[in-house]
Structures are given as structure tokens and as C-alpha cells.
Amino acid sequence: MAEEGQTPEESLAQVNSVTNGRLQEIRFWVTIMKEHALFIALGLPCDQTDLIAQAQAFAEQFETLEERVRQVTTIEPELLEEIIAAVRALIAFQRGILALMLQCSIRPSIPPLFVDHITREAVHFLELLLNPQPPLSTIQQAIRRAVFWLRQMKEHIEFIIHLLDPSERLLINQAEKLLKVFRKLLETARDLESMSESRPLFFNAAVRFIFEVNEKTAILRDFKATAHELVVLCRVLSTVPDPLLTDHVRREADKFLKEMEEFKSLTNVCESMRASQ
């Protein structure tokens, strides 16, 4: 049903836009889940053959789902339920791995925070599957999403520092400078998220902050792209297990930047609301 003031054609275009956006979102995250399972398989101790086999099975399952979602134009209910079930199972598996690590029952080459990090992203994906989100339309939604992604970006930098050889002092120094920036951005985002609970009619300081986040994330994305290139060319000393990992974190930064584009339209909304007061 068309909204008031919309023609049927405009209403249909809006529905198609949301549907296409949801399909792209699912395609992105299914690939991310597949790669998370691969990283776990790579990081587990070689004597944990059962756990490695489970991780590889998850990678294969999501690879199959990845191929299916690439071939469809809409996500049918049956396929959606399969994806939801797979994500729930992956979350349970990752939490089980983390519990074993915290209990010192296994000692993988990946840190506990990494497993918590990828589990957080799986939970985020599950929430998107269960509660389809329209394009971000309020500053409150934008700040909430920024809090999620800024935490992920901050931890990406921490993981990169952890993986670099101590002799890579210049790269580590660059990463540490970025880490300071993103720690401060995350703190500010959490403050603004709390303030936004008062539901102001406009919040232009938060809009300005979103643009600052966009600028800093672009810098981080470029740093990640450079790091990936160095790994691929064997021009950096590190314990990165596979170039897929550096490409993975770069793509997530690109995803964050793409979502930031949705926020830009909020500037006019906030300004128009301010002008009407």
C-alpha cells in the first residue's frame, strides 16, 4: 500500500529498493560468516581434529548458502530459515569455542577477543535476519549503528597490531595512532548514543560526529588496504595466517563506509527540523 503522497510506482520502487538492500546485506554477511568459520579452523590447535572438522563444516555450509544467495533475486522463506538456523548454530559453536578458551581447555593461536568479536558480528547478522531494518532514517539509529561498527573497527586495529612482527615498527606506530583515534570515537559515540535517548528534535552535533567518523574510517580502510597488499606481496613480517584475513577486515571497513552514506541524508532532515522551530 502506497504511503500518503506516494504514487503506486513510487511505493513499488521503495519496496524494491528495501528488498534489494536486504538481499545485498544477506549476501555480504553470509560470506563473512563463511570466512569466520575458516579463521577458526586455521586458529585451532592441530590436535583438536573434531573442532577443526566442525569449523570446516560450517565454512562449507556457508559457502553453499553463499552460492545460493548469489543466484536469487529474492530471499524466499525457506532459504531465510536455513540461513537463520545456520547462523544460530555458528553462534553456539563460537561461544562453545570461547568457553573452552576461557577455561584454558584449548589454546588456539587466535585470541579470545577475536572469537568474541566474530560472535558479536554473527549476533548482529541474526538480528538483521529476524528484524529487517529499513535504511537508517534517524540520528538515533545512525549513532547506534556507529557504536557497533566503531567497536569492531577498534578491535580490527588491535588484532593487526597483535599480528605484526615487532620489527615492523613504522606500521605498528601507524596502527597505534589509528587505535587512539578509534578509541576516542567509540567513547564519544557511546556518549552520544546515551544522549540521543532524550529524543531531541534535532541533534546536529551528532550529525557532525557521523561525518567525522566517515572521514576517519576512510583513512582506516586505506591503511587496511595497504596492509593487505603488503601481505599478498610478502612485503611485511607478520603472523597473518592467510591474506583473506586482511582482505576481510578491509571489506568490513568498506561496509561501514557504505552504511555511513545512508547517514548523510540526515543532515538535511536535522537542518530542516531546526529551521522549523
- Going from N- to C-terminal start, the domains of the chain cover 8-134, 135-277
Report how far residue 213's alpha carbon sits from residue 54's, in angstroms, rounded to the nearest whole number.
38
Report how far residue 274's alpha carbon sits from residue 139's, in angstroms, rounded to the nearest whole number.
14
Q: What is the DSSP letter of 202?
A: -
Using one digit for the tens of pLDDT, what is the confidence trace for 62-106?
A: 999 999 999 999 999 999 999 999 999 999 999 999 999 999 999
CATH annotation of 135-277:
1.20.1260.120
CATH annotation of 8-134:
1.20.1260.120
Is there a shared CATH topology between the 8-134 domain and the 135-277 domain?
Answer: yes
- First CA to last CA across the chain, in angstroms? 32
Confidence of residue 268 (pLDDT cuts 50, 70, 90): low
Using one digit for the tens of pLDDT, what is the confidence trace for 142-185?
A: 899 999 999 999 999 999 999 999 999 999 999 999 999 999 99
Under 8 Å CB-to-CB from 3, ≥6 apart: which residues? 11
